[in-house]
Structure 1
C-alpha cells in the first residue's frame, strides 16, 4: 500500500470534516480508522485542533512519518461530514480502494453550493423564527425581507473578504438598519423587537456552542476552549452590531428613539 496516498486520503478526509463543522474527536476517529488500514501499522497518532491537523504513522521496520496540515477556514456543512463518514466506512470495510476513496474525497471537496438558494433559506429561517417567537404573519413576512437583506450583507462581506468578526458586526448593523427603516415606514403594526431578534438568529453561533460542549465532554479541552471563545466573539460581534445600528438609526428614522 502506498503510504503517502494513505496519508493524503486521511488528511483530506480530516480537512473536509474540520472545515465543515465536525467535532475534533470525530475527525480524529475517522482519520485513525483510515490510517489503521496500513499494512503492519505499529504506531498511529492523530491530533486535531481547530486550526490544524497532525498525524503520525509508523510501520514495522520503517521510520515514523508525520504530516501537519494547517486549516484556516471553517464553516458548517453537515452533509459533507456525513458523506466523508460514509466514504471512510466503505473504504475501511474494503468496499473501496484507497485510490477510489481519495478520488471521491477530492470530488467532494470540489463541490460548490448553489448560492442562489442561500437568500431564500435565510429569509425562510427568519420568517420561521418570527412565528416561533409569537410574531404575526405580517411580522414573519417583514422578517423574511430583513433576512434577504442579511443574506446580501453576508454575500458582500464574503466578496470583500471581511474578517469573520467584522462581518458579524456589519451584518448585524445591516439587520438593525433595515428593521428600523421598515418600522419607520409601517409603524405600529410591526413588532420590531421580534423581527430584529428573528433576523439575527441565522448569525447565532449554535453549532460552535454545541461543538464546544461536545469537545469538552470528550476531554478535548483545548478545542473546547477555542470553540467557546469563537462562539463568544461571534455573539459579541452580533450584539455590538445591533447596538451600533439601534443607537445610530433609531435616532434618525424613529421619533423618540424607538
Structure 2
C-alpha cells in the first residue's frame, strides 16, 4: 500500500470535514479509520484542532511519517461531511480502492453551493423564522425585503473580502437599517421586533455553539473552548452591527 497516498487521503478527508463544520472528534475518528487500513501498521495517531490537522503513521520496520496541515477557513456544509463519511465507509469496507477514494475526495473538495442557492436559502430561513415567531402577512412580506438587504450586504462583504468579524457587523447593520426603513414606511402594520429577529437568524452561529458543546463533552476542551470563542465573536459582531443600524436610524428618523 502507498503510505504517502494513504496519508494524503486521510488528510484530505479531515480537511474537508473540518472546513465544512464537522466536530473535531468526528474528524479524528474518520481519519483514524482510514489510516488503520494500512498493512502491517504499528501506530496511527491523529490530532485535530480548530486551525490544523496532524497525522502520524508508522509501519513495521519503517520510520514514522508525520503530516501537518493548517486549516484557516471554516464554513457550514453538512452535505460534504455526510459525503466524506460515506466515502470513508466505502473505502474501509473494501468497496473502494485507495486511489478511487482519493479521487472522490478530490472532487468533493471543489464542490460548493452556488451563491444563488446560498442567497435563496438565507432568505428562506429569515422568512421561515419570521413566520415561526408569529409574524403576520405584512411581517412575512417585510422579511422578504429585509432578506434581500441581508443577501446584498453579505455578498458585498464577501466581494470586498472583509474580515469575517467585519462581515458580521456589516450584515447586522444591513438587517437593522432595512427593518427601520420598512417600519417607517409600514408603521403599525409591521412588527419590527419579529421581522428583525427572524431576519438575522441566518447569521446566528448555531453550528459553532452546538459543536462547542459536543467537543467539550467528548473531552476536547481546546477545540470546545475555541469554538465557544468563535461563536461569541460572531454574535458580538452581529450585535454591534444591529446596534449601529438602530442608532443611525434613530438619528435619521
TM-score with structure 1 length normalisation?
0.96
Please name the residue that 1:35 is paired with: 35
Aligned residue runs from structure 1 range 9-20, under 5 A: 9-20=9-20
> What's the offset of the Cα at 1:245?
0.7
Please name the residue that 2:78 is paired with: 78
Q: Which runs of 5 or more structure 1 residues have no equivalent in the other structure?
A: 254-258
Between the aligned partners of 1:43 and 1:120, the Cα distance in structure 2 is: 47
Please name the residue that 1:256 is paired with: none
Between the aligned partners of 1:153 and 1:248, the Cα distance in structure 2 is: 17
Higher mean alpha-carbon deviation, 79-88 vs 146-155, is at 146-155
Query: What SS is found at the alignment partner of 1:187?
Result: helix
Query: What SS is found at the alignment partner of 1:53?
Result: strand
Please name the residue that 2:181 is paired with: 181
Query: What SS is found at the alignment partner of 1:116?
Result: helix
Between the aligned partners of 1:45 and 1:88, the Cα distance in structure 2 is: 17
Query: What SS is found at the alignment partner of 2:213?
Result: helix
Please name the residue that 1:217 is paired with: 217
Between the aligned partners of 2:87 and 2:170, the Cα distance in structure 1 is: 39
Please name the residue that 2:244 is paired with: 244
Query: What SS is found at the alignment partner of 2:33?
Result: helix
Contact 1:126 1:140 in 2 (8 A): no
Q: Deviation string for 1:58-102 (max 9, x for gaps)?
A: 101000000000001000000100000000000000110100000
Between the aligned partners of 2:31 and 2:98, the Cα distance in structure 1 is: 13
> What's the offset of the Cα at 1:120?
1.8
Contact 1:17 1:81 in 2 (8 A): yes
> What's the offset of the Cα at 1:148?
1.8
Report how many residues are paired.
253
Higher mean alpha-carbon deviation, 150-159 vs 64-73, is at 150-159
TM-score with structure 2 length normalisation?
0.98
Higher mean alpha-carbon deviation, 155-164 vs 225-234, is at 155-164
> What's the offset of the Cα at 1:251?
2.4
Please name the residue that 1:25 is paired with: 25
> What's the offset of the Cα at 1:174?
0.7
Q: Which runs of 5 or more structure 2 residues have no equivalent in the other structure?
A: none
Aligned residue runs from structure 1 range 153-192, under 5 A: 153-192=153-192
Aligned residue runs from structure 1 range 1-258, under 5 A: 1-253=1-253
